[in-house]
Structures are given as C-alpha cells and as structure tokens.
C-alpha cells in the first residue's frame, strides 16, 4: 500500500497527464466488480443486458468509464430505484456529462475562464444562501437516526397503515433516505475546506 505522500504525488501525476493512465487502465470482470463493490455475477448480468459495456479494445476487460457507470448504477439501486430506472438515469447523467465536457473542451480559453468564474460566483452565492437557510440543529446523524427509527417501526409492523396521501411508511422512509443522501452530498460540497 502506498504511503499518503506517495499517493498524493501519484494523484498529481495522473492529473498532470490528463488522465492518460486512467484512460488505459483495464480490469477483468472480477477485479472491476471488486473495485465497484458489486458481485462478478451482477457485473456479468448487467453486461449481458447491455447496461454496461466492456472496454472496446479488450475481450472482457472494463475501463474506468464502464466502472464509473457500474458504481453509479449501484448507488441508484441502493437508493431504491429499479435496475432499469437506475440504468436509464445513469445513461442520461453520462450523456449530459459527455456533452458538457465536449462543449467546455471546444471553448476558447478566454470564454472558458469567464464561464468558470461565473459558475464559481453562482456556486458561492448558493453556498451562502444554503448556509443562511440551514437550521443550526440539523445534522445528518440526527436525520439518519430518524430514518433508522422509521425502519425499525416498519419492521415491527407498527406503521402498517397508509398516510393520507396513500404512501406507506416504507415508501416514506425510502424517499426520506434518498433526500438525506442528497442533502449529505450537498453538505459535503459546501463544507469549508481547512487550509
């Protein structure tokens, strides 16, 4: 295992080489499944269904782009989406990211700098608004405990009834869990970094 300083240096080299190493990286199905935290059986099934494609220049090897797709599908499944819905969402996300990367890559340097400055200003403004609106007592741990309590009550059958809008307690808990996941990601983005 590489030491932290060595890993940092390696990360800088990978970034400096525009991801050349990453673009050439290929893993077998078993290795890719382990990296993506899925079973080899899942990966092979998803590949046979056409949801994930092995790298073009390898028989059954998976490149980082395929692994990114696998990880995103797995994350969507963990949020309660069906495999087909998860794969569709990921396809749309990846298509949007590719189009945006191409658009930015084709921009003249001055226009790109202006766009990035504008985005940074908008993001800083949103962070400020979010910090002002976020209650001081709200914590992710507290929200997660509430979801766990709902799940325990659901498992015990205490919440078998339907709410006025027809949602079961289980579906409410799933939706709340997804909302907390999204909030946690947003909070990570807006946390001030220590220098």
> Which residues 6+ apart lie within 8 Å of 175 measured at CB?
167
Q: Tell whether pTM > 0.75.
A: no
Q: Which fold is adopted by the domain 4-109?
A: Multidrug-efflux Transporter Regulator; Chain: A; Domain 2 (1.10.1660)
For residue 54, how many C-alpha atoms fall within 13 Å in the half-sphere facing its CB? Answer: 18
SS3 28: coil
Share of the chain above pLDDT 70, in %: 58
Residue 12 has phi, psi (to 5 degrees) of -65, -40
Looking at every residue in the chain, the average pLDDT score rounds to 76
pLDDT digits (tens, 9 = 90+) for 79-125: 899 999 999 999 999 889 888 888 888 889 898 888 888 988 988 88
- In this structure, of 72-76, 146-150, 164-168, 172-176, the range with the lowest mean pLDDT score is 164-168
Which of 105, 104, 101, 69 is closest to 88 using CA atoms? 69
List, in sequence order, every beta strand (DSSP E) within 77-186: none
Q: Look-up: residue for tokens 């998803």?
A: 46
CA distance 146 to 48: 39
């Amino acid at each position: 295992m590489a030491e932290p300083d060595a890993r940092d240096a390696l990360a800088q080299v990978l970034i400096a080489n525009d991801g050349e190493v990453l673009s050439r990286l290929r893993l077998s199905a078993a290795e890719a499944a382990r990296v993506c935290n899925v079973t080899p059986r899942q990966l092979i099934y998803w590949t046979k269904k056409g949801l994930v494609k092995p790298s073009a220049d390898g028989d059954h090897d998976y490149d980082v782009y395929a692994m990114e797709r696998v990880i995103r599908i797995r994350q969507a499944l963990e949020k309660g989406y069906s495999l087909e819905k998860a794969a569709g969402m990921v396809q749309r996300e990846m298509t949007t990211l590719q189009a945006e990367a191409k658009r930015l890559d084709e921009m003249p340097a001055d226009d790109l700098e202006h766009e990035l400055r504008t985005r940074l200003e908008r993001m800083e403004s949103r962070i400020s608004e979010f910090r002002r609106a976020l209650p001081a007592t709200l914590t992710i741990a507290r929200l997660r405990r509430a979801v766990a309590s709902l799940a325990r009550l659901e498992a015990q059958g205490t919440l078998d009834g339907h709410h006025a809008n027809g949602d079961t307690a289980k579906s409410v808990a799933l939706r709340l869990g997804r909302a907390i996941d999204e909030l946690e990601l947003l909070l990570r983005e807006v946390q001030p970094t220590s220098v």
